[in-house]
Structure 1
Amino acid sequence: MTSISSVTAETVTATELLQLAQGDAEHAVIDVREPYVQAHDGHILVSVPLPLGQIELRAVELLPRRDVRIVVVDDDGGERARRAAARLAVLGYTNVALLQGGIAAWRAEGLPVYTGTGVYSKAFGEYVEHQKQTPHISATELWDKLQRKEDVIVLDGRTVEEFNRFSIPGAAPLPNAELPYRIHELLPSEQTLVVINCAGRTRSIIGAQGLINAGLSNPVAALEDGTMDWLFQRLPLEQGKARPLPVPGEATREKAREAKRHLTAEYGIEWLDADALASLRAEASSQQADRTVYWIDVRTRAEYEQGHLPGSQWAEGGQLVQGIDRHIGVRNATIVLIDDADGTRAAITASWLQQLRWGKVLAYAAAPEALKETSVSGTATAVPDLPAGKWLDVAELQGRLARDEVQLLDLAPSTVYASAHIPGARFAVRERLLLGDEGQGIHALDQRPLVLTSQDGRLAAWAAQELAAAGKREVRALRGGTTAWQAVGLPLEHGETQLLHSTDDVPRDSYAWPTEAERFAAFRAYLDWERGLLPQVLSDPLARFAHA
């Protein structure tokens, strides 16, 4: 394993990084701090969140070309950044630099930093509303229309999973990229008012404006401030009201294809045919490839799992627009959006990505016979090759826990740990085990052997390998992770029951606070933050949105 001391990554200054980020060459700016720190302390507008503890799991998908220029950002350009460079070197990356002085040096140059998450996409939503004057409707006005049974329909632009948690009474789930593809199955008439809602602001704005851009003749409005303001007005929400997506019939599909044609003409979307796609795939897979290509299937998860283009990754189109930095790590790369033969979801997604200007956007409407791959393993890095004695199976762990022979640490995010974990497991953050102070590092534990678990066991395996190499103590990983424990019917524990580390590893969902007062305070802070993004990005040299 590459050691920290053996890595001598070059450094770049804040000024040099600014010049790189303003240029047209491919590059990735990865922020390797913990997610909460990035969100709370501030980060660079175009940086991609890739926490140090997640590098082995996510780097290959985010950064598919090993010789792409990568700049690593941490607090101060210190040990965390060097560890990140070492892990990237193990994975084969050859063109890595550290930001000299980290985010502190960037800030010292007077360059802007942003709190929160998904900033580039959410700032774009505010920009779109400002540029297009997207129509909106207040919660109370919508509620009055619903009570009077006016000709209005509410469509929820979030994911189906989010809709199933809570929804506006009578609303239907229709994630943003599905809107122009399926909406005509739900519209009573061409006069029906269409209201798009989400949990906050961005997806309401993008969903509503997307329908307008696609040429829908109905009146359309975004629900102002989403279900946050809905709750401020003490209006009811439904819990667990699952509804399937409507299946588009031929008449609906023809209208969807017309929307595709309209968007293609309006935004100059470039479509690949089968020959052009094959040529690009051959180029991207060659050892001499000099550009990064992402193959993103923007259909629903169910469609992707039923069959997709070999080598493609899945990202629901609306979520790709909502969080470009979570899926596309390299700026100025080529992004190929894959859809079924109708192509409507690729078209609406491409129309937004072209305005985001994160990379070159192409679209491909695949014939059914091209969507033949059913494996969903993706391109994620495999589990490390641990010696057989470094794995622990569920049955052995169960026995050793009963005899109090081992300490079990769960490295899943704190939100996942709180939702369900193996009884007796202590929550821990991978990086704090090695980087932590006297109260957080591995030396704070007693001398019993350690067993590490995580959601599927991959993160635990990487951490076990690293801790064992550091010579700290006997460390083993649970094969298959907590999922394997649950799969054999063993009980799980819930809540923040045993914490080695504080649960400030990831930002807290505004809706997750336990009391109404705390939720409302979080809502207000979030809405103020999101509205405040626009004046920030308008003066940021790295924001390069196309005119909406």
Structure 2
Amino acid sequence: MVEQISAHALRALWRARDEVAVFDAREEGPYARAHPFFAVSLPFSEVEVRAYDLAPRLSAKIVVYDDGEGFAEQAARRFSSLGYSDVALLEGGLSAYQKVGELFRDVNVVSKAFGELVESIRHTPSLSAREVEGLIRAGADAVVLDARRFEEYHTMSIPNAVSVPGAELALRVFDIAPSPNTLVIVNCAGRTRSIIGTQSLIDAAIPNRVAALRNGTIGWTLDGLALDRGQTRRFPPLGKEQHERALAGTRARAARLGVATLDAEAYEAALATRDRRTLYLLDVRSPEEYAAGHAPGFRSAPGGQLVQATDEWVAVRGAKIILYDDLEARALSTASWLTQLGWETAVLSPQAAAATERGASPRRRPPIVAAPGATISPEELVSGRDNFTIVDLSRGPVYRASHIAGAYWAALAHLERDLATLPRDKRIALVSPDGETALDNLARAQIVAARGAVALAGGTQAFGALTSENARWLSEPDDSYKRPYEGVDNSQDAMQAYIDWELQLVAQLANDGVANFHVVR
């Protein structure tokens, strides 16, 4: 029988900064409607794919919960089958937790609440959309730096804005705004990355006046102003003098916060503790730089996104984080924020490890060995198409954007229920983007498929021709939360509600009382 932990005991672990990872075993939709503060979304059907990255130490304490659906028990079994030795269920699930702690909505709440706390304590300066639009129209000596991922910037952006993802700001600002008289305006889609980006530049002691675009592209849209589409402006090449200035500012800030820079000997000593202390190795440079070469064992986690959405990379509270950046300033800036977010964070000296690995992030999960007959190749699926019903297990938005023609979408959380609605005269072919999620959940399909089920080897990425037309939904998709700050088709009511929600996070954070944040003035 799986151990249980009470909500009171769990909150005591958080307050004591002990190691614990808490996973919501439901889909992202229900998670985004209500969850404990430090809970991380990990649907039970994705445990095998994502667990090792989110919780790399097998002896770390793992807590899983749901809201009475039975998903937590399935998640616990999957964690145990992967070798995790300290797995517990949250006693009474979400309803029991609600009696002793706050429930938060939305995603990446820890980072968003922290951003609001930073603004309230540091009085981070900001300008309204109308004020910034007036400056742009007047040709003022000002630059607008977009702190989001380039893909978000490319979708829609403030006129004249330049893409400078968050961790790059303190490194690149002197090349973009060489005059100390230039006003630097930082924007994102909503509030968090604008606040953190602006404060990063202020904390790096740049001579320019800096301000956030209040409420980002949402505020711009709500004020009836037009956004650009498809822009590609990026920061210029880094100058040597500008790099030295960036290092001076970020090093001084990191030193005041007690961020250590590890030489080779200190790094090896940290690695030697990995069986006793969870350790995350994260490369905060751009994904392109990471793919070209990175230090062994490090995962790609671009710095601005790491601060904005820490729970997408790091789940074990109380763990230690080591950051890598061959230019150092991005790691120092990121570490300064993670330290204030409550993580023990250090920076690996660029001289301490060579960037010798190439390609994707390392994963500890061993290759999946499929049983004979469990998979089908793309060529076999094409030639025998009439004998199969194809069922896509991608996230809803991924399926909507591209899927195999004629494929149905099924909710992973309710796979057995959805498959039972299909005709029983054909075999089921499960597909997912890389094939792993399909293979992980094949046994569930085989139980209910009258003619049997197989998984597509290599996934839809190996299949070839995909379409966005004629989506076929076996049930209402609730596996993904539609973020009101991404894309260009959000309603004004949803955007305004999102801003209103962010503005009340500081009060909810104070009422909950488990954060352990420390914003340094």
Q: TM-score, normalised by structure 1?
A: 0.91
Residue 285 (structure 2) pairs with residue 295 (structure 1): no
Change (3 A) 1:369 1:350: closer
Change (3 A) 1:469 1:360: farther
Q: 2:477 aligns with which of 499, 503, 511?
A: 503
Partner of 2:509: 537
Q: Which runs of 4 or more aligned residues in structure 1 lie more than 6 Å from their structure 2 counterparts after TM superposition?
A: 469-472
Partner of 2:61: 69
Partner of 1:322: 308
**Cα distance between partner residues in 2 of 1:463 and 1:150:** 57
Partner of 2:363: 379
Residue 76 (structure 2) pairs with residue 85 (structure 1): yes
Q: Which amino acid aligns with 2:403?
A: H
State the Cα distance separating 1:469 from its structure 2 match.
Answer: 6.5
Change (3 A) 1:277 1:313: same
Q: For 1:106-255, what aligned pairs fall within 5 Å after superposition? A: 106-107=97-98, 109-255=99-245
Partner of 1:12: 5
Residue 500 (structure 2) pairs with residue 528 (structure 1): yes
Q: 1:414 aligns with which of 396, 399, 406?
A: 396
State the Cα distance separating 1:20 from its structure 2 match.
Answer: 2.0
Give yes or no for contact 2:300–2:361 (8 Å, CA) kept in 1: no
**Cα distance between partner residues in 2 of 1:321 and 1:164:** 21
**Cα distance between partner residues in 2 of 1:446 and 1:469:** 15
Structure 1 vs Structure 2 CA RMSD: 1.7
Q: What is the SS of the residue equivalent to 2:272?
A: helix
State the Cα distance separating 1:138 from its structure 2 match.
Answer: 0.6
Give yes or no for contact 1:513–1:519 (8 Å, CA) kept in 2: no
Range with greater deviation from structure 2 (518-527 or 240-249): 240-249
Give yes or no for contact 1:408–1:452 (8 Å, CA) kept in 2: yes
Q: For 1:373-452, what aligned pairs fall within 5 Å after superposition? A: 373-379=357-363, 381-401=365-385, 404-434=386-416, 440-447=417-424, 448-452=426-430
Matched length: 519
**Cα distance between partner residues in 2 of 1:333 and 1:124:** 18
Give yes or no for contact 2:292–2:359 (8 Å, CA) kept in 1: no
Percent identity for Structure 1 against Structure 2: 38
Q: Which amino acid aligns with 2:4?
A: T
Give yes or no for contact 1:512–1:519 (8 Å, CA) kept in 2: no
Partner of 1:3: none
Partner of 1:343: 328
**Cα distance between partner residues in 1 of 2:486 and 2:410:** 21
**Cα distance between partner residues in 1 of 2:13 and 2:445:** 35
Range with greater deviation from structure 2 (231-240 or 113-122): 231-240
State the Cα distance separating 1:188 from its structure 2 match.
Answer: 4.1
Partner of 1:57: 49
Q: What is the SS of the residue equivalent to 1:68?
A: coil
Q: Could you tell me which runs of 5 or more consecutive residues in structure 1 were left unpaired when the two chains were aligned.
A: 1-7, 435-439
Change (3 A) 1:245 1:389: farther
Give yes or no for contact 2:29–2:478 (8 Å, CA) kept in 1: yes
Q: What is the SS of the residue equivalent to 2:317?
A: coil
Q: Which amino acid aligns with 2:473?
A: L
Give yes or no for contact 2:419–2:445 (8 Å, CA) kept in 1: no
Q: 1:334 aligns with which of 312, 317, 320?
A: 320
Partner of 1:36: 29
State the Cα distance separating 1:368 from its structure 2 match.
Answer: 8.7
Q: TM-score, normalised by structure 2?
A: 0.96
Q: Which amino acid aligns with 1:528?
A: D
Give yes or no for contact 1:228–1:523 (8 Å, CA) kept in 2: yes
Partner of 1:355: 340
Range with greater deviation from structure 2 (230-239 or 196-205): 230-239
**Cα distance between partner residues in 1 of 2:498 and 2:83:** 39
Q: Could you tell me which runs of 5 or more consecutive residues in structure 2 were left unpaired when the two chains were aligned.
A: none
Q: Which amino acid aligns with 1:34?
A: E
Give yes or no for contact 1:386–1:465 (8 Å, CA) kept in 2: no
Give yes or no for contact 2:176–2:235 (8 Å, CA) kept in 1: no
